[in-house]
Each structure stands twice: as C-alpha cells, then as structure tokens.
Amino acid sequence: MTELIPASWAPVALMVLLLAHRFGAHSGGSDFEKSQGERSWTTPVFVVTHVSMVFLSITGGWMGWHELSLPVSIVGFVLVLAGVVITRVARKTLAEHFSIFLKADDSHELITDGVYGRIRHPLYTAELLIQLGAPLAACTPEALIFLPIGIVLVSLRVATEEKLLGERYPEYAAYVARTRRLI
C-alpha cells in the first residue's frame, strides 16, 4: 500500500496545511499595526522556533532523510489537524479580542465560553500539537528538537499572561479553578 503513495506527499500536504493555518490564524487581526500591549521576547523566539521546526520537518521529508511510515505520518497529520481546528475555533471565540500581544485593556473582556470554557489557553495547546505533529507527519524526528523549546516558551508566556489576567479580572481566580491550563 505504501508503495502506491509517493514519499513526497507528506511534506507537500504538511506545507499546504500549515500555510493555510498561518494565514487563517492571523487573518483579520490589526495587531501588527498597533503598538499597544506588552511585547514579550517569547513571541518572536516562539515564531522563529516554530518556523524552524516546520522548515526542518518539510525539508527532511522532501530530502527523504527517513523512510515514510504511514501510521506515524497519519498520527502526525491528526495532531496538526487538531491544532489547526482548535486554533480556528479559539480565534472565532475570541473574535476582536484576539491579540498576539499581551494586553488586557478596557476594550477587552475575559472570554470564558466556547473552548475557553474548558481550556484557558487553547491557542497555545494548538501550537504545541502542531509542533509535535509536524515532525511526525513528515517522519522527520530531528525536528522534534524544537518541541522542548516550544514548551518552555509557552510555559513562560502562559505564566505572564495568567499574571496579567489575574490582575485585570477579579473573576479570573474562579475561572482558573474550573478550567485546565492547556489540555
């Protein structure tokens, strides 16, 4: 069966899926034009590690560094797809409250419905699923080196964000008590 599937399908499909995710996840936002909000060093570092992981995954898949394992690749694509779906749902729930910057001003409100009714940081969960799934989808285990970096960066970002939200919204403590942080 795997002989009928060209080995190059995985990196091509992965690239298309991740490009669609990137353009869809950040479309409609005007935060790049605004300078409001705390610009954390974790954001650009996370973007660089994420892009590096995707590049290494896709390059390794095209270069044929490893034999394509259909079961491993399918698990990877399921994780990436789950990350993409979670991102879309979370972005739709946040609507105009989405920002790549850490901020909680008078125009914002604490979102606790939809996916945010169960998980406080679904967008970070989605990014970690993608960082785990992409190397598996392209059968490029070398790209998994970026996963621990992503986990550390997300942990730092979550801690900073939770402190900010806890200071801004008195009801945040009750929200924390009834929801999970990531998964």
Q: Which of 149, 151, 181 is nearest to 165 (CA)?
A: 181
Span 69-88, pLDDT tens digits: 788 888 988 998 999 899 88
pLDDT number for residue 2: 46
Give the residue, 65 or 153, on which the prediction is more confident.
153
Average pLDDT, the chain: 77
| Greatest C-alpha distance within the chain | 59
Condensed to tens digits (0 to 9), the pLDDT of residues 13-26 reads 666 666 665 655 55
Q: Residue 4: is its pLDDT beyond 80?
A: no
Top pLDDT among 28 and 152 is at 152
Q: Rounded distance, CA 118 to CA 112, Å?
A: 8
Closest CA to 92 of 25, 158, 30: 25
Could you state, in order of their start, the residue ranges of all structural domains in the chain?
A: 14-20+41-178
Q: 86-121 burial, b for 16+ CB within 10 Å, e for fewer? A: bbebbbebbeeebbbebbbeeeeeebbeebbeebbb
Type of residue at 171:
E
* DSSP class of 38: B
CB atoms within 10 A of CB 56: 20
Confidence (pLDDT) at 46: 67
Helices (H), 95-145: 122-137
Q: Report how far apart, in Å, the C-alpha atoms of 106 and of each of 30, 93, 98, 138, 160 are.
A: 17, 18, 14, 44, 19
Residues 115-150: tens digit of each pLDDT: 999 999 999 999 899 889 988 887 788 888 888 888
